[in-house]
Chain A
Amino acid sequence: MSYYFAIISPLDTPLFEHEFGTSKSGGDGQPRFTDQARHLNQFILHSSLDIVEELQWTNGQLYLKVIDKFFQNYISAFVTASNVKFLLLHQPTTSVPGAAAAPNTATAAASSRVNSTSVGANPTSPQTEEAIKNFMNEAYENYVKAIMSPFYKAPNMEIRSLVFRQRVAAAGRKYL
């Protein structure tokens, strides 16, 4: 299970991005995206913004759950009160077709072991939704603190705070 988390400003500028892997069920917290997927992730994530903008008015919740799917890439969204979007792309590695045929068998073995029980094995299950909700809430809490810094020019400046990055990574370790 690999995750790509991004914060998008109301003017659709990326403010923050972070990649990480699952830490549940013996995961090492490292993302398993290929170099190609890394570039693709940004496109997938940003293309889901249209759906977010449609869905955000349908219910009063900040957390919108899984809103988009592109092959094995699931997008969960969280929209803050000031219309800043938190998007999380999650890619379960279970259903990679022909995992056995993967050139690196060690990686394949590791990922299949991780997947069978990990929180993200089924991206739309209530457990996963709950885990992502917790992650989003914690990221939101820390985001609020980060933008309270007087040297941060809200709302359209990249978040460069190392503390914030560490806290997001910690939330990822804790819940996902």
Chain B
Amino acid sequence: MAANKASRLGEETRIDKVNAELVVLTYGTIVSQLCKDFDSDYVEVNKQLDKMGYNIGLRLIEDYLAKSNTVRRCSNFKETAEMIAKVGFKIFLNITPTIANWTNDGKQFSLIFDENPFADFVELPDDGRAQDELWYSNILCGVLRGALEMVQMQVEAHFISDVLRGNDTTEMRITLIRYIDDELPPEDD
């Protein structure tokens, strides 16, 4: 039921569109410039992308809440996953990744991207390392981490496969670490 509600919300939310190629080229330029700046240290590039995404996520969550009219808090992490995939990704990237591979404790799941608007036309550098080290779309991990942190969820997100590397699917693993309790400021005695 929650799933249906989420996909309906995602469909209903109207959002301005931009040309896909603009997105592809802009994001591609960022990644290739990072690779240049860090001298093809792809581990560092991944970190930087994640950091950029984190900063995007911190403010994007506000936009998301305003646009999607979801005032109610998700009752569990499964519902959160539905909202991420069917509302968040739908309104910002117009894709709906598949949710799969839940662990039994319901704290870890995968998002499988059948299409990835960032990765059109992209071929990783053929220097023999990029294929094993660079997570091209790593900015998305940061976005989720930043956005969820703003709604009291500390998560860890990373890619475990990418079609750009020659894998069959593009899969991101998301783990809930904890719900952040409202912390009281230290008492001043």
User: CB of A151 within 8 A of chain B?
Assistant: yes
Which of B51-59, B117-125, B149-157, B172-180 participates in binding chain A? B117-125
Q: What is the minimal beta-carbon distance from A143 to any residue of chain B, in angstroms?
A: 12
What is A's interface to B at a CB cutoff of 8 Å?
145-146, 148-152, 160-161, 163
User: CB of B93 within 8 A of chain A?
Assistant: no
Q: What is the CA–CA distance of A161 and B31 in the complex, to the nearest angstrom?
A: 18
- A151, B121: Cβ atoms closer than 8 Å: no
The contact of A160 among B21, B27, B35, B126, by CB within 8 Å, is: B126
Q: What is the minimal beta-carbon distance from A23 to any residue of chain B, in angstroms?
A: 26
User: CB of B98 within 8 A of chain A?
Assistant: no
- B-side binding surface: helix, strand, loop or mixed? helix
Interface size counted on chain B using CB atoms at 8 A:
16
Q: What is the CA–CA distance of A151 and B121 in the complex, to the nearest angstrom?
A: 10
Q: What is the minimal beta-carbon distance from B53 to any residue of chain A, in angstroms?
A: 17
User: CB of B116 within 8 A of chain A?
Assistant: no
- B121, A149: Cβ atoms closer than 8 Å: yes
- B121, A148: Cβ atoms closer than 8 Å: yes
Chain A residues near B32 (CB, 8 Å)? 150-151
Q: What is the CA–CA distance of A149 and B25 in the complex, to the nearest angstrom?
A: 8
Chain B residues near A152 (CB, 8 Å)? 123
* B136 nearest CB neighbor, chain A only: A150
Chain B residues near A148 (CB, 8 Å)? 21, 24-25, 28, 120-121
- A150, B126: Cβ atoms closer than 8 Å: no
User: CB of B29 within 8 A of chain A?
Assistant: yes
- 5 sample A-B contacts, Cβ–Cβ < 8 Å, listed by A number: A150-B28, A150-B29, A150-B31, A150-B122, A151-B125
Chain B residues near A163 (CB, 8 Å)? 123
Chain B residues near A160 (CB, 8 Å)? 126
Chain B residues near A146 (CB, 8 Å)? 121, 123
Most buried by B among A146, A148, A160, A161: A148
8 Å CB interface, B6-39 against A: 21, 24-25, 27-29, 31-32, 35
Q: What is the CA–CA distance of A150 and B29 in the complex, to the nearest angstrom?
A: 6
